[in-house]
Amino acid sequence: MKLWELRPLDKYRERDDPGRRDQLNPWDPWYNKAFGFIVRAETEERAREIANENAGDENNEWIGIDKPIKTPWLHPQYSTCDELIPDGMEGLIVRDFHAA
């Protein structure tokens, strides 16, 4: 099995204007949503499916880039899915913290 890290693309993590609701951003507003997963799966496709199955309100229908979309974790134009390898420097891997 492989280990995968899934995250929203950088352009969907932060807004330029926090007071404006962005209809093109499935992670806006930021509450009740998942902003990352570490998933064990054989393939990227399966890792994305597992993330999608465990999503929060980011899976509600919203206006996508080309058309309405409910599954941003399944689409590379909205989220990343990178294989994690055991090599690397010591340090924290994920702290997905959102305070209100």
Assigned domain for 67 exists:
yes
Q: What is the pLDDT of residue 91?
A: 83
Q: How many independent structural domains does the chain possess? A: 1
pLDDT tens digits for 39-60? 999 999 999 999 999 998 888 8
Q: Are 34 and 54 in contact (CB under 8 A)?
A: yes
CA distance 56 to 88: 30
Other beta carbons within 10 angstroms of residue 91's beta carbon come to: 5
- State the residue range of the domain holding 37: 2-84
As a whole number, mean pLDDT of residues 23-38 equals 84
Assigned domain for 25 exists:
yes
CA distance 66 to 60: 16
